[in-house]
Amino acid sequence: QEAARQRGASLDTEIAAAQQEQETIRAELAGLRRQEEELRQRLPELEASWQSRRDDLNRSASRLHSLKELEAQFAGYGQGVKNLMQANGLKASFSGLLADVIDTPPELEAAVEAALAERLQCVLCGDVTDAVAALEFLKSTNGGRAGLALPLAYEAPTASGVAGAVPLAGQVGVSGPHGGLIRRILADVLLVEALDEALRLAQQHPHLAFVTREGDMVALGGVLSGGSGDQVQAGIIGKKREIKELAARVATLEQEVATLGAERDEVRRMSLAVAEGVKQAGSRQHQAELRLAGLAKDRQQVADEVGRIDERLGLHALEQGTLVEEQEALDAELKLSQAQLDETASASQELEQEVGRLKADLDSRREHLARAREQATAIRVQAATLREQHEGHLRALVDLERQERELAERMTTGRDELEQGDAERARLQGTLGTGTGRLEELMAGQAAAEGRLTEVRTGYEAAGGVLAAAEGRAKQLREESDAVRQSQADLNLRFSTMSMQAEHLERGLQEKSRITMADALERLGQTEFDEAAGQGRRVELQRLLDEMGEVNLMAIEECAGMEERFTFLSSQKDDLEESLRGLQQAIQRINRTTRQRFLETYNLVNAKFQEVFPRLFCGGQAELRLTNEEDLLETGIDIIVQPPGKKLQNVTLLSGGEKALTAVALIFSIFLIKPTPFCLLDEVDAPLDDANIGRFNDMVREMSAISQFIIITHNKATMQVADTLYGITMEEPGASKVVSVRLH
């Protein structure tokens, strides 16, 4: 008991500690959930900011990339400038274009574009030698025309001497050795505010040129140039300024995107960490609750165990007292019995044999009596109730106690028992006969009870059928009653609804028309009403209400959101249209360049093909023809050949060997125009005869001086002209082996 009480005290301490731990975990979990909610609210804002900056970065980077590609391809520049800037041997001697060294304010870009015009494309040369070499290159390659700019030391005057005009050279920043040349070009160009003022001043000073901020220019006293400002904004200076601005904006946006991305990732990491902490805290709280519940259960078990120990101690004390009393009584009886035994010791010796015989007879009769009682008990168990069984057992217990008392009396009074033995035997025989009769009566009663049970079961089944029918009728009546009750409830509900509608209608009439229901009914009775027209009007009004839909309480917020989205999409649409216009212009320039390069390449290949074909065929002629000369981008090419001794025809009408040799001639023609370090030919000599193979090998040998040829062939003649042979052999089935032979 003391150990149980100590265990209970220990469990109380653990329960208090567990409760304190649970409160701590709850506070920690509440803090983590608040932090998680703050991070969850902050993450969409960071995500939106990061997405917005990234979209701006993508748009700016895409625009910058497009402009840089166009600038790298010298889109919009003259053909001569493009050829010079792309020439491998000359571009190292150039320091860029004239537009690269001009720093113009955005508001004066149109004026500078108009003043310099085509001179913005002038190539910056270091000295006269480079400039002359560039001109010679353009002349020798028929590469077009270009302007070349040389360094010049020149200082522009500080004042114009013309009222209302300022020198444009003083408004433009220049750098490098070509700054003097730019100042000299702009020395005679003055900046004015309006076109009419430029016209007036040009007539007074015909040796000067006057330009407005919009790009309208008057020169030589009466030569006007100008027009739309879009073309000026898309000029060289504007594009270079836009490239610089976009580069700076892209760098800034990249930094902002990186910062926002890192912050977003950090918030996500913190959110995941907090979520994990919430999960762990929840798990710890659950474990603490389980532990607290387990401790409470253990505490209850200890308390129950203490109670049971107390009860057992009480019972033990009572039992100990009872045992002490019984021991005292037994001691007294033992003393009495010892005295009686001393008195009857002599008599008991004489009666021992008779007692043994009587005991054997008594045991035999007890066995018969036990079997009879067992049979009677079994019959009573089958026929009687539990109460009767209990009473039977009680009666049997009373008989046994009585018999025990009788035997004790007979043992103490052995002589009296021996004298009454015969009488007892007779009595027992009578009792046995009585028990046998009683048994027969019980069996007859059981049979009668079974018959009555059958009759009762039959009546019960009949009554059950009647009861089922009655229940069916009762169920039907209940369903009818429920239907009537439901109908009554529907009518009551309809009555209540109609009453509420009438009250609502009466209040509406009072509020809107200031009349009562009686007045309205009186006026309605005096008014002629067309039910069909009214029904049609009601349907029309209902349709209008359905089309209007429910009242949207969030319409203002949704309208603001849609306006913001419309503004955003409109700006994107404008950007896309601007990009589309730029792409269309680029496509036009690409198509123009492609047509020119295709036509040049076609003419070169056609001329070379006309030279190579007679060499491979030992005569004849061949040419390439365009299928659609009007559209060089969609045209096809026909190969028209005339081998020696045959008429002029299309290549599709030739034999296999002639087709192969014609294809080889075309390939070699293209290869001779623009050779490559390697040329791989796979079984091209298979359809050729020995004579054609010889000419083919001669051509390959001649061209091997500028390129390395790798030929896959099975022809011995072709193998003989090779420098190195690589053969594939299979000495063992399934195992290939490479064999190389170098021929010198």
Quick one: average pLDDT of 495-506? 82
pTM: 0.34
Q: Rg of the Cα trace of the chain?
A: 62
Quick one: average pLDDT of 204-229? 74
pLDDT band at 76 (very low <50, low <70, confident <90, very high): low
Are 708 and 694 within 8 A, CB to CB?
no
Q: Quote the pLDDT of residue 374.
A: 66
Does position 220 have pLDDT exceeding 70, yes or no? yes
Mean pLDDT, the chain, whole residue set:
75
Does position 445 have pLDDT exceeding 60, yes or no? yes
Are 127 and 150 within 8 A, CB to CB?
yes
Q: Quote the pLDDT of residue 728.
A: 84
**Lowest mean pLDDT, pick from 56-70, 257-271, 371-385:** 371-385
What does each C-alpha distance from 356 to 361, 416, 723 come to in angstroms?
9, 16, 138
253 residue type, one letter = L
Q: Quote the pLDDT of residue 190.
A: 77
Q: Quote the pLDDT of residue 89.
A: 66
- The pair of three-digit structure tokens given for residue 638, joined into one six-digit string: 């026909």
CA distance 263 to 260: 5
Does position 414 have pLDDT exceeding 60, yes or no? no
Does position 366 have pLDDT exceeding 80, yes or no? no
How many Cα neighbours within 13 Å face the side chain of 477? 6
CA nearest to 117, candidates 203, 237, 210: 237
Quick one: average pLDDT of 157-163? 61
Does position 271 have pLDDT exceeding 70, yes or no? yes
Q: pLDDT tens, 507-524?
A: 887 777 777 777 777 777
Quick one: average pLDDT of 517-539? 76
Q: Quote the pLDDT of residue 560.
A: 84
Q: pLDDT tens, 726-744?
A: 888 887 788 888 887 776 5
Q: pLDDT tens, 320-341?
A: 776 677 667 667 766 776 666 6
Burial 578-603 (b: 16+ CB within 10 A, else e): eeeebeeebeeeeeeeeeeeeeeeee
Q: Quote the pLDDT of residue 652.
A: 79
